[in-house]
A and B are shown apart, each in its own frame.
Chain A
Amino acid sequence: MSEAARQAIEKAARDSRARLLAFLAARSRDVAAAEDALSDAFRAALESWPCDGVPDNPEAWLLTAARRRLIDAARHHKVLAQATPGLVAALDEAQVFTDDHVHEFPDERLKLLFVCAHPAIDAAARTPLMLQTVLGLDAVRIASAFLVKPSAMGQRLSRVKTKIRDAGIAFEIPHGAQLAERLDAVLEAIYAAYGSGWDDIAGADPRRKGLALEALELGALLVRLLPDEPEALGLSALMLYCESRRGARRDPHDEYVQLSEQDVALWSIPMIEQADRLLRQAERMRRMGRFQLEAAIQSVHAQRARTGDTDWESIALLYEGLVRVAPSIGALVGRAAAVAQARDPQTGWTLLQQIPASAVANYQPYWALAAHLLNCMDRTCEARAARERAVGLCEDPAMRVFLLRQQL
């Protein structure tokens, strides 16, 4: 194959695949059929571009080819016979973009993201679906990130796509109160991808590491598509602050290093600066939210790279806000830790005690913090029991070693 043709196809696959897919899926409302049609179009390009040359507008060529295949496929399946005229009309729009040599066809990726995180879709399937449709990850890669068999992941994804088609889920950008709610689901799904990569830094499962970068990519895309949504900016900033510390979270012997003990020289300053910019941009919009608050807490931690110490007073204040907006167990435990640092262990311990016991029976960070605070208050015996509990609830071997060492 000619080098030029190969490069053009690779470039189109990299830069335009998701936009083409979103465009086709938004019109056919059938993600699986749009994917098939697009694969066929790429296959046709592989056959014809090396002989006939690379078309002037590769995206338009691919769009026309995929559109033709979508219509053929719909005609082929008699069940959908009635739907075909509508489909043809919808896809005629695609023809306009190609005939007019319009280089920029509408970017429907945002609609695709909203469909992926639609309330009708099982929450566990949302992140995998985003990774496949928006980032183009294959089912094998996604399956390994979520620790299931590729065949099972493939089946799960195709069931979801069938549901999108059969339920006629609309490709649209929600408005008003709906937007906030639906956007939250999109943000959650992206954050879940980041979280899965974050937890597994231990290397217990190297296959899971990569999802953090993919989550950052989705976050950056969301910021480009929704530049006026402060929470999208907040999520991107939050992930960047966390990512900036990746190199400092383990020592050279692969042992756990507490945030307060991390060598700030190992933090990534460009990532912190990028996060600072995003967060400032979000704050200017004056609509506070959970992800902005979490990012703001991280930004105070990040300032240690410049100032050499941590402003716990500010962190405690930000947690106060976070607990009001989103009172998760994580936020409540984080607030107690911050108050203990800003004031004294006793005050932190009082806050920790207010969390219902049933909510923390399995929550490891609660017991790790309890052990630390009890130790500070010289309640050694209770501290020991709490630390034992924290060890027992650990998933991360490095954290377990760290806690057991304190027990001695």
Chain B
Amino acid sequence: MNFSILIHETAEAFTRRDDPAQRPALYAPIGAYLQAMREAGVFVGGAGLEAPPTANVLSTNGNGWKVQDGPFADTKEQLGGIIIIDVPDRKSALEWARRFPAMPGRKLELRANLVPPSE
């Protein structure tokens, strides 16, 4: 069963990435976390995302797309990364999510991936 762990972060949390002094403390635990997932055979895929100001937002009223700069502005946290895992059930998915390195300004969302309708 595939689940997505969505990592949401506040603007302040995003700025930690730009601070060379903070980078090791930021990335080493995540590296270890992803490695542990690979070794346990649950890691399917994932990516960290560039900061929200680099985003393009495409909106539509149904007739083509209107492109704007920047992230959706209506939430305090923005999507900072996504990890997809393959585990037996939601309980194990939650166990893995709880191991994601906790830091102020971070929030996680765990969602089951949609299963494509069978033929």
Contacts and interface: CB of A to CB of B under 8 A. Distances in A.
Interface stretch (A92-100, A159-167, A214-222, A394-402): A394-402
A287 B39 CA distance: 42
A393 interface: yes
Interface residues of A toward B: which range? Answer: 10 to 19
Given A361-B39, A361-B41, A362-B40, A392 B98 contact: no
Interface stretch (B14-22, B30-38, B46-54): B30-38
A87 B34 CA distance: 59
A204 interface: yes
B74 interface: no
A201 to B, nearest CB: 14
Given A400-B29, A404-B28, A404-B29, A395 B99 contact: yes
B105 interface: no
Contact of A362 (B34, B35, B95): B95
B102 interface: yes
A389 interface: yes
A391 interface: yes
Contacts of A391: 28-29, 32-33, 36
A382 to B, nearest CB: 13
A397 B102 contact: yes
B34 A392 contact: yes
Contacts of B37: 392
B45 interface: no
A362 B98 CA distance: 12
B107 to A, nearest CB: 13
B110 to A, nearest CB: 12
Contact of A392 (B25, B99, B102): B99
B101 interface: yes
B32 A389 contact: yes
Interface string A378-390: 0000000000110
A200 B41 CA distance: 27
Given A361-B41, A362-B95, A404-B28, A389 B101 contact: no
Contact of B99 (A361, A394, A404): A394
A388 B39 CA distance: 11
B32 A361 contact: no
A392 B35 contact: yes
A393 B98 contact: no
A388 B102 CA distance: 17
Contacts of B36: 388-389, 391-393
Interface string B93-114: 0010011011000000000000
A397 B98 CA distance: 11
A362 B40 CA distance: 7
Nearest to B87: A362
Contact of A388 (B32, B98, B101): B32
Given A204-B102, A362-B40, A395-B99, A389 B28 contact: no
Contacts of A400: 29, 101
Interface in A200-217: 204
B3 to A, nearest CB: 15
A390 to B, nearest CB: 8
Interface string A215-231: 00000000000000000
A146 B93 CA distance: 16
B112 to A, nearest CB: 17
B102 A389 contact: no
Interface string A334-375: 000000000000000000000000000110000000000000
9 contacts: A389-B36, A391-B29, A392-B32, A392-B99, A393-B36, A394-B101, A397-B101, A404-B28, A407-B28
Given A392-B31, A392-B99, 14 more contacts: A361-B39, A391-B32, A391-B33, A392-B33, A392-B35, A392-B37, A393-B36, A394-B29, A394-B99, A394-B101, A395-B98, A395-B99, A400-B101, A404-B25
The 7 closest A-B pairs by CB, nearest first: A392-B36, A392-B32, A391-B32, A361-B40, A392-B33, A388-B32, A393-B36
Interface of B: 25, 28-29, 31-37, 39-41, 95, 98-99, 101-102
